[in-house]
Amino acid sequence: MVVQLYRRGGTMFYLTRERQKVFQAANLFPFGEEFDSELEEKLYEDLANYLDVIPQKFQKEILERTLFSNNDLMNEFEEWCNETIDRFIENSGVITKKRYRIIQNFQPSVQNVFIESLHDGEILKAEQEGNDIVLLLNMDGGFTKESIVQLVFHDAKMEGNLEGYYLHDELDSSEDGFGLRIISGFGCPHEECTIYFKDVTANCLYRPAIYSEPGEIGSWSGYVASLNPDNQYFIVKNCRFVEIDLDSLSQKDEGIFAGDEWLGRTFEEAKEKIHCARFEDPYAYLNELLPAEKLGTALFDKDPFVRLRAFNTLFELGEEAAGIVNDALRKIDINDEENMDFETVANYFHRLDCLDEDVKRKWIRADENDHLGKD
């Protein structure tokens, strides 16, 4: 397979706006699925928007709404779609491997950013500042633990447009430095942009743990009281990080403030403005062990997170929890599908040889008694 790469300044890229559009076109038709006339009409309308990248032999039938009823041509169309998708995925794998190799040249903070996906980051800023280019992304709708990512490309210049949402990227390197190709946009058609640079630094902000797991907290005062005083807190103003003091947070008739900075009229608006400097795992408490004396009731708590902590504690305690496990398993209806977690517990403690005979007869199948975990 011969793949054309686009070169400039020593860098070479596979990813282009056109290739991204071809890949999208190849993913439109739901092969192997049934659909009604309404969806059929929509599929034709969607395909018509991609005629400039779909092979010409399919274009007339798409416009005349006859492609789907032409079996021979549909077989060819499916073959084109499959080949297009496979080729794009194969080259995406090459791009990923190249990415991991190149980021070894960057600072650890930058490596961490590029190891994760910036896909679906909202582009808040992409501007030249002197010899630098500053890219600011809101990652709340993305796939990273960071809430805000700031990349500063040094000795840099940018070609093309960058707007909407950060969708896909490709890194390359040469003797002249590095290149980052970015596909962005609000929808199709996408924008294509390339940033050429000598070095890059990264600054990131995160959401406080209480933001992701607020529990029953529904007031501003309760939210502020739950913030970790050992962390640092920031708002983003004019695309810059501004540190705030927890003591400066106040709620007045006209809204919520951080000093003189207005955060919002309501608690829900204000909490969206606050970020922190260090990542806080909102689910870390699930790994905290419960006191052994609370396990007997916690295993049957209505709160699924309490039950999860109880199960994690059982597995951590092992043989020490044998008495609690046997008592709990005696109480459970083995035929209740909601008790599947207890089956896992039973099998685990059977491997530890911790089940009493009556519990073993209840939970462990006869053909497992002699073999399960006894190797």
> What pLDDT band is residue 368 in, cutting at 50, 70 and 90?
low
Q: Assess whether pLDDT exceeds 80 at residue 367.
A: no
- Residue 6 has a pLDDT of 45
- Residue 355 has a pLDDT of 94
∠ CA 110-112-116 to the nearest 5 degrees?
A: 115
Each residue's pLDDT tens digit, 332-341: 888 777 677 8
Q: What is the mean pLDDT of residues 330-357?
A: 88
Secondary-structure percent of the chain, ordered helix, strand, coil, rounded to 5: 45, 25, 30
Query: Of 114, 200, 109, 197, which Cα lies nearest the Cα of 158?
Result: 197
Q: Assess whether pLDDT exceeds 70 at residue 373.
A: no
- Residue 1 has a pLDDT of 38
Q: Assess whether pLDDT exceeds 90 at residue 319.
A: yes
Beta strands in 208-260 (DSSP E): 233-237, 240-244, 249-252, 255-258
The whole-model pTM stands at: 0.76
- Residue 35 has a pLDDT of 80
Delimit the domains of the chain by residue range: 6-104, 106-201, 207-276, 286-369
Number of other residues whose CB lies within 10 A of the CB of residue 335: 6
Q: Assess whether pLDDT exceeds 80 at residue 236.
A: yes
More confident residue, 204 or 287: 204
**Strand order across the beta sheet in which 255-258 lies:** 249-252, 255-258, 261-264
DSSP 189: S
> What pLDDT band is residue 116 in, cutting at 50, 70 and 90?
confident
More confident residue, 116 or 367: 116
- Residue 366 has a pLDDT of 55
Query: Of 292, 291, 271, which Cα lies nearest the Cα of 214?
Result: 271
Each residue's pLDDT tens digit, 3-43: 444 445 556 899 999 999 999 999 999 988 888 889 999 99
